[in-house]
Amino acid sequence: MTPKNVDYSLYLVTDSTPTILGEKDLVEVVKAAVGGGVTIVQLRDKNSETAELVRIAKDLHAVTKPAGVPLLINDRVDVALAAGVEGVHVGQDDLDLKSARHILGPDAIIGVTANSLEEALTAARDGADYLGIGTVYATPTKENTKSIIGTSGVQTILAKLSEEGLGNVKTVAIGGINASNAQRILYQSASPAKKLDGIAVVSAIVAADDAKSAGSDLRRLVKEPPAFAGTTAKTNLSPSDIIARAPNTIKRMAERKPLCHNMTNLVVQNFAANVALAIGSSPIMSNNGLEAGDLAALGGSLVINMGTTTPEIRGNHLKALVAYNAVGGPVLLDPVGAGATAQRREGVKALMAGGYFDVIKGNEGEIRTVSGAQGVKQHGVDSGASQLELEDRIKLVRGTAARERNIILMTGTKDVISDGERTFVVSNGHALLGDITGSGCTLGTTIASVLAVERDDKLLAALSGILMYEIAAERAAARDEVRGPGTFVPAFIDELYAVRQECVQGCDKWIQAAK
Ligand code: 3NM
Ligand code: MG
């Protein structure tokens, strides 16, 4: 057990306060957690007197040492020395790293709390063995945390560490991490050059009724990629290959008839169900989060549409999101009107912190809000005029997709779609789509339907859906009987149906209209 060879994958930080530990015995909890698979332990106790702390540390060490699990003491270098444990963890207001190193020597494991990029870079330069990066999500366990940085904040720090040649420092994330989000946090915080070495948890283990099973559940989760990651190898299809494959992708969808579960707004339920039927998926319109687990088990995909949202609806959305993430069922977010009200801005944040979206699609204002831009002006749920140049839209979409590690689609006269590496601008579609209700929402339904059958290359799935949808709109608008929005809707549904039939019959001339 040398300091440079520590397994940081599941880091338990203790807490002896009654609200978290309850009536349980700390040593028993740590013993159980180590039995479950915790790989490193920190004694964090802000209340006990020094002599008592040393006693606790020795008791814990008697449990951790035989298991080959390092024990560190929060803040107290003196206690670490007295108890003969493997190291310390120091916060920004504790003894500084260099002094701690001087006292404990080169072999001690010394970790530092980093709540910001500056703190992370400084600690890494000063020779910390690892950084505890946070606060990822707000947590009742530690009040007055400095800032909630989310997975994007962790990712920024990891990328910068690597860029500055500090990629060797080990890293764990902390704050609000539990079994429901551990895999996603590891996945979404990863930058191309550096990923986390592990997660640190307090309440997810210490407050659990059974610390051993809580520990072993978490250990299993941190070892495996999340179900939604699908095959991690991206297909290396060229842009023209991707477009050429769209008809066959639609064909597979129409033949499989996957379930497309829509949690959508009151306005478009009927239209969205009709679009799903026309393109060849099987719609279910259910806003009940409690049945989402049963529906997710059927192997389809989910659309979460914020069109008519309330706190109660958001609760249902979050339940469904977790249920689909657990089985790797694709989820598409349509953050309708995201920038329009405080409720909606909050809603987007809560949803993005509550689970993984394979695709997020919205108009310019909505995607800007998703990207975290402040002060986005949106008057209603309609798109309004574009405020960004195409070049800036591309940058924003690509950057957000790379950050979220998903697909971002910004709709408009020109749609911009990216998986963070590959970016497409689609110029298909028709102005009449802007004159009917639910065209954005049902594009979401279309893309989600394709995603249900094409999970390896999600960009291919999304692009196939967009092309089918927008080329069908062009064909509908060109029909003689179409004189405006009223006659457009039935013609559009017919053309979606026609494109689907053409795909099934292997006649893919329609794709030549892609531009
Ligand atoms: N440090 P839980 S957050 C000890 O942000 C600690 O530096 C934090 O508790 C930081 O796993 C935190 O119960 C508490 O959310 C984490
Ligand atoms: Mg401290």
Q: For 142-164, give one letter per residue: b (16+ CB within 10 A) or e.
A: beebeebbbbebbbbbbbbbbee
Q: What is the DSSP letter of 234?
A: P
Give the number of the atom of ligand 1 that is nearest the alpha carbon of residue 132.
7
β 415-418/407-410 pair status = antiparallel
**Under 8 Å CB-to-CB from 360, ≥6 apart: which residues?**
332, 333, 335, 367, 370, 400, 404, 406, 407, 408, 409
**Under 8 Å CB-to-CB from 206, ≥6 apart: which residues?**
12, 14, 15, 20, 21, 29
Kindly state the helix (H) or strand (E) to which residue 252 belongs, with its residue range: helix 239-256
Q: How far is the CA of 468 from the centre of ligand 2 (A)?
A: 56
Alpha carbons 368 and 322: distance in angstroms, whole number: 24
User: pLDDT at position 283, please?
Assistant: 97
**At which residue do the structure tokens 């790989």 appear?**
39
Alpha carbons 436 and 7: distance in angstroms, whole number: 56
Residue whose C-alpha is closest to residue 154's, from 122, 112, 199, 109 = 199
Give the number of the atom of ligand 1 that is nearest the alpha carbon of residue 44.
4
Mean pLDDT by 10 residues, the chain (515 residues): 78 97 97 98 97 98 98 98 98 95 97 97 97 94 86 97 97 97 96 97 98 98 90 69 95 98 94 98 96 96 92 94 94 93 91 95 95 73 74 97 96 95 95 95 97 94 97 98 98 98 95 94
Token output for 352: 């993005």
Would you list the DSSP string of 26-54?
HHHHHHHHHHHT--EEEE--SSS-HHHHH
CB 365 within 8 A of CB 325: no
User: pLDDT at position 377, please?
Assistant: 67
**Overall residue count recorded for the chain in this entry:** 515
User: pLDDT at position 237, please?
Assistant: 80
Q: What is the DSSP letter of 261?
A: E
Alpha carbons 193 and 34: distance in angstroms, whole number: 31
Alpha carbons 121 and 125: distance in angstroms, whole number: 6
Q: Describe the crossing of helices 239-256 and 269-279 by its angle, rounded to 10 degrees.
A: 100
Domains of the chain by start residue, with CATH: 3-226 (3.20.20.70), 242-513 (3.40.1190.20)
Q: How far is the CA of 145 from the centre of ligand 1 (A)?
A: 8
Q: For 84-114, give one letter per residue: b (16+ CB within 10 A) or e.
A: ebbbbbbbeebbebeebbeebeeebbbbbbb
Q: How far is the CA of 483 from the centre of ligand 1 (A)?
A: 61
Alpha carbons 302 and 146: distance in angstroms, whole number: 35
Assess whether the C-beta atom of 142 lies below 6 angstroms from ligand 1: yes
Instruction: List, in sequence order, every residue forming a beta bridge with 88; answer none if it has no partner.
Output: 73, 110
Token output for 6: 């520590």
Give the number of the atom of ligand 1 that is nearest the alpha carbon of residue 207.
13
Assess whether the C-beta atom of 141 lies below 6 angstroms from ligand 1: yes
CB atoms under 10 Å from CB of 208, counted, come to: 23
By the 10 Å C-beta count (0-12 exposed, 13-18 middle, 19+ buried), 26 is classed as middle
CB atoms under 10 Å from CB of 224, counted, come to: 10
Token output for 224: 């495996």
Alpha carbons 80 and 102: distance in angstroms, whole number: 14
| Complex ipTM value | 0.93
Q: What is the DSSP letter of 372?
A: T
CB 212 within 8 A of CB 250: no
| AA letter at 16 | S
Alpha carbons 175 and 142: distance in angstroms, whole number: 8
Task: Write out the catalytic residue numbers.
Answer: 441
Assess whether the C-beta atom of 249 lies below 6 angstroms from ligand 1: no
Alpha carbons 346 and 211: distance in angstroms, whole number: 33
User: pLDDT at position 316, please?
Assistant: 96
User: pLDDT at position 374, please?
Assistant: 75
Assess whether the C-beta atom of 202 lies below 6 angstroms from ligand 1: yes
CB atoms under 10 Å from CB of 231, counted, come to: 10
CB 145 within 8 A of CB 134: yes
Distances (CA, A) of 499 to 183, 281, 490, 491: 39, 14, 14, 12
**Under 8 Å CB-to-CB from 52, ≥6 apart: which residues?**
none
Q: Describe the crossing of helices 458-477 and 439-451 by its angle, rounded to 10 degrees.
A: 140
CB 320 within 8 A of CB 279: no
Residue whose C-alpha is closest to residue 3's, from 90, 88, 103, 100 = 88
Assess whether the C-beta atom of 176 lies below 6 angstroms from ligand 1: yes
The number of angstroms, rounded, from the C-alpha of 135 to the middle of its chain's C-alpha atoms is 16
Q: Which ligand is nearest to the CA of 91?
A: 2
